[in-house]
Structure formats: structure tokens, C-alpha cells
Amino acid sequence: MNQTLKLGVLDLVPRLGESTFEDTLQQAAELARCAEAWGYHRYWAAEHHDLEHLSCASPEILLSHIGARTERIRLGSGAVLLPHYSPLKVAENFRMLAALYPGRIDLGVGRAPGGSAHTSMALSGNFLGHVADLPNRIRALTELLEDRYRYEDVPVAAKPVPGISPALWMLGTNTKSAGYAAEFGTGYVFGQFMSDTDGAEVLRSYREAFRPSAHLKKPQTIVAVSVICAETEELAREMAAAAARLRQEYSGQLGQDNAARPGQTGGDGQDGQDEQNGHDRQDEHNGHDRHDGGPFPRTLTGTAESVKSVLKQMAEKYESDEFLIVTPVADYAARLKSYQLLMGM
């Protein structure tokens, strides 16, 4: 396994402290600009709806804003919540981005509601019915991106048609989403920071079942991990404790997300509560998150050297040397600094 790690940013676009929503969106653009300067490979934005402390309901609009303010970093969604939307509209939006920013656009899709039950119903009606139809929606999306989609046997095209198509990814936390990614020949992102499932087994199932497609000839994986990095181990633990306290302050509202998926207890395709609100269960005694499904903590907390050591172990176990980094820090400047330190800048 190549131990040269490729790192990207997964931004939940959190509204921290007294920041306004306007402040938060400009902070997202600043994070992307800094990430590009520091050498991060990707910047992805998450999608959530009607949550007081998360600010991005429309990743494609935010990515368009950020694309005009950056030059090289890949830009993507982590994830567009496909059950809510027409595959044609999703394909049009991301082909538009791919035409504006050639060779830089990733289209990550997931299957969570991204908000409360009533928000989901207001957004798209029968969400559970749409989830059941997800394989057909993924199939339609892949066909649209390959210019072979037909509606009632009539060709329908998603335009504009860029020279370089958006790269298609499936996000999830267990074998169901991995199975979709394998079946349709997309890349797969395993959300380690929000899963108790053995990531090595999930990624192995994806690779073994992978079917080459027009998008991707060989399986491609990324692992999304939560990281809090500081100059010292003690400071990193203090930052983790502060982040845990902040989560507790508004966990009541974020907990409403689970109501959108009655009868579900967790984790595939961004379905569980952790996946929708992007926050972790913190063990305040040691600065690491509980993670019973494997040898790694939910949040890697420490100096850049210690965190990278664990990332290399994860790369070996998961057979994946690319990571998307989520940094659940309560202070904006400290959050930026964590990303900077991790890249050795």
C-alpha cells in the first residue's frame, strides 16, 4: 500500500459561535481557498435542510461560488441527497458545474433525508417511497451522465454536455450503499466517522462486487474521517471537549433528523442520525470518540504526527490511501488551523 496520503476536505458548513449564515458561507469559501493553497486534493460540501447550525441546503450553488474563487482543487458534493430530486436536474446541475470548471467536479450522492420528517415531506413528499426507488434513480443518473437516457423510449439529454464529465461517487456507511456503488460502477466513499460498521469489510465487499462502467474501470475508494489536530495533544483534547459541549447544546434539534426515517437505527447511505447531522459521539474522558465497530476511534485527536500515524494504519487496513477530513471544532480559526497543521503547513 502506498503510504503517501491524499487528503481532502468534507465541509458540513457549520455555523459556529455568533456567525450569521452569510458569515458561514464565506467561511466555507475561505476554507476551500486555504485547502487549495495547502495542497488538499478535494473540497466537498454536505447537504442538510432546515437545521439551525448547518448552512448548506444546496451544495451545487455553494460549489459554483467556490469554483470562481479557486483554481485547481476538485469540488464536489458530500452528498446530494438523491431521493429528494429528479436525476435529470441533478445531472444538469453538475454538468453545468463541470462545464464551468473543467476536470474539477465530483458528484457524490447519498440517500439520507438530511433533515426532519416534516422538512423532508415539504421538500419531496414521500421520502421513504423515494428511497425504495433509489436504484432506479441511480440508474437514470448514470444513463444521463453517459448520454443514453430515454424517457418513454424518447431520448432525453442533460445539458450542457461538458468535455469532462463529473466523477460519480456513492457515499455510505455499510454494504448496502457499497453494493449500489459496485453495481453501477461508481466510486465509493465510506463514512468511517459516522459508522460502527467494519470499514474494511464494507470496502472489500465493494471491490469484490464492482462492475466496470463508462465512469470508472476499476474500483476507487475514499474514507471520510473526523480529525481534530493541534500543536499539542493536550490542546487537541481541549478542542475536542469544547466541540462535544457545543454538540450537546443543540443536540435536541439535530436529533429531530431521526424522525425522518422511522424504524431505522442507522447507517447506510447517510441514513442514521450521526450521518445526517455530521456530529460524533464524544468520549470526553480521553478525547476520542467511541467506535465499537473497529480498531479506530470515531475522531482522531492529537498532533499532526500522531493523527497521520493513525491515518496510515487506516490506509493499510482499508486498502485506501485517500481520506476526506471532517473537523468538528467549535471555533472557526481553530478549525482552519487544524486543517493547516494536518497538511504540515
Using pLDDT thresholds of 50, 70 and 90, give the confidence band for residue 3.
low
Alpha carbon of residue 28 to chain centroid: 14
CATH fold group of domain 6-254+293-343: TIM Barrel (3.20.20)
pLDDT per residue as tens digits for the range 175-201: 999 999 999 999 999 999 999 889 999
pLDDT per residue as tens digits for the range 66-107: 999 999 999 999 999 999 999 999 999 999 999 999 999 999
Using pLDDT thresholds of 50, 70 and 90, give the confidence band for residue 137.
very high
pLDDT at 17 > cutoff 60: yes
| pLDDT for 248 | 73
pTM (2 decimals)?
Answer: 0.89
pLDDT at 293 > cutoff 90: no
CA 75 to CA 141: how far, in whole Å?
Answer: 19
Pick from 8-12, 51-55, 95-99: least confident: 51-55
pLDDT at 1 > cutoff 70: no
Rounded to an integer, the average pLDDT of 328-342 is: 96
**Percent of the chain at pLDDT exceeding 90:** 80
Q: Please give the mean pLDDT across all residues of the chain.
A: 88
Rounded to an integer, the average pLDDT of 131-151 is: 97
pLDDT at 14 > cutoff 80: yes
Higher pLDDT, 75 or 279: 75
| pLDDT for 257 | 34
pLDDT per residue as tens digits for the range 214-265: 999 999 999 999 999 999 999 999 999 988 887 776 554 444 333 233 222 2
pLDDT at 124 > cutoff 80: yes
| pLDDT for 294 | 61
Using pLDDT thresholds of 50, 70 and 90, give the confidence band for residue 27.
very high
pLDDT at 292 > cutoff 60: no
CA 150 to CA 181: how far, in whole Å?
Answer: 22
CA 157 to CA 118: how far, in whole Å?
Answer: 33
